[in-house]
Structure 1
Amino acid sequence: MKILVVGATGYIGAVVADRLAEAGHEVVELSRSGDGSQRGRVRRAGDLTDPSSLSAAVTADIDAVVNLATPTGDAEADAAAVAALTEPLRGTGRAFVYTSGVWVLGATGPEPAGEDTPTNPIPIVGYRPAIERQVIDAAAQGVRSVVIRPGIVHGRGGGIPALLVDLARKHGAPRYVGEDAVRWPMVHVDDLADLFVVALERAPAGTLWHGVTEPAVSVPDLAAAAGDAAGVPGRPQAWPLDEAREALGEAFADALALDQSVSGDAARRELGWQPRHEDAVAELRAGSAN
């Protein structure tokens, strides 16, 4: 397939674009400037705040669109961007894959949340469930629309776990936000990229999938591993929420303190997704987030 990847230069997007190419697909990158790709790929110009530029980029030769771009933070702008990217696909059966995230579920309780668990978004992703519904509803208009909710992404020196390494270095000791029992659903960026490939190739229209390999990883354990990676081993310290909010912003600090348990079993069972990296603590301790 010839696939337009929105956000192909980002942390997740770059890995997904490479995986798609390795799987034999032709990747076309979308960027604001449309300047040449460092990977030698075709690049088209488009901006999430300019819907007409997005529609123009989805030409008849594009078989699928993957939206991995960071949301604008404006509900109307993001809804307009999704409408613009999906409008050329209507009635064609071509695929559109949208990247959401598990924070839309809110605090989940002890049992792993599945794809049918009702959303209860925290403020930082407050309008995201409405965008998810917009994508899913596009299936009724002849678009093979798919939503993927990644867990907390780690690996290749990026993602939120890399922040724990930076915090450990800055404060001279491992640090985390939230209660001792806080847990994060985790996924390695390489495994997540594999999920995008299988979803593009196999996922039915109007479906939603969790990109999670470890349902509930102890954040204090992650912080301890980050301290080891940063060269400041020791007992992790809880960062008071009011201090973390002042340093990181209230919405983001509250997201880091969110306790979740989320299942990614459906994608393994129904799409044949086969993750290979399932120990975020060990990988972080070994320095994968440096």
Structure 2
Amino acid sequence: MNLVASRFSLYLNLIRWDRPAGWLLLLWPTLAALWIAAGGFPGWHLLIVFTLGTILMRSAGCCINDVADRDFDRHVKRTANRPVTSGAIGVREALLVGAVLALAAFLLVLTTNAPTITWSFAALAVAMAYPYAKRHVSMPQAVLGVAFSFGIPMAFAAVQSQVPPVAIGLLIGNLFWVLAYDTEYAMVDRDDDLRIGIKTSAITLGAFDVIGVMAFYAAFVLIWGLLGWQAGLRVPFMIGLLVAAAQAAWHFRLIRDRSRDGCFKAFRANHWLGFAVFAGVVADYSFG
């Protein structure tokens, strides 16, 4: 029993179970899109499917990412003790865990409809490509932004059996949010990434990293604000956006001196920014 418990603990470490901020970053925009697509509460079935599916796919992504980055992670103090990098979990075992989690997520998608199932294959392909983008793309955070935003068109597909232009617009807006918070994350490891040759938005932006982050936040708030207004969302939603914008302004104070602690704190707090937008959407449909 002790061996089983120890192995299970390693698996939880592999999928970052102790760091829920990771899957919350995916969950809030996905659920916001689900509410907008449905014009209110989408029903318990879709709520459960997209919540559990988000958690499962983020966990599967961690497995793939750790396998792909194992040779890089051992040179970064913050990631050197990850299970695959340290050898506590083998490559094949980690990939098997990831495959099981992805299969469980796909089984949930199968309870929806054909358009959602079709979009899920594209989502999986982008998620698998991201870990390798850091070797070839100057701003791999953009690839992550697409991967982390696929829940938006899938939500519309599940509700409306189609992906209208507003869904693509929300995806693009959300991509800018991902660029903002993952650049903050990349700023934490910039010195290590330069040393080992990984490409990141923090390195590409250079001295314009802080300005870039704030511009990304502004683009996110502006795009979601315009699209929300066009969708009929009014005061409660705009209050949520203002709260999100205020948090982004606070992040400027955290990252302006580029300290590791400040940048990491800003990154970890981003799920509250996403929650503010989601709460605004729910409040608008409930009381607006």
- State TM-score, norm by structure 1: 0.29
Higher relative contact order (CA 8 A, sep 6+): 2
Normalising by structure 2, we get a TM-score of: 0.29
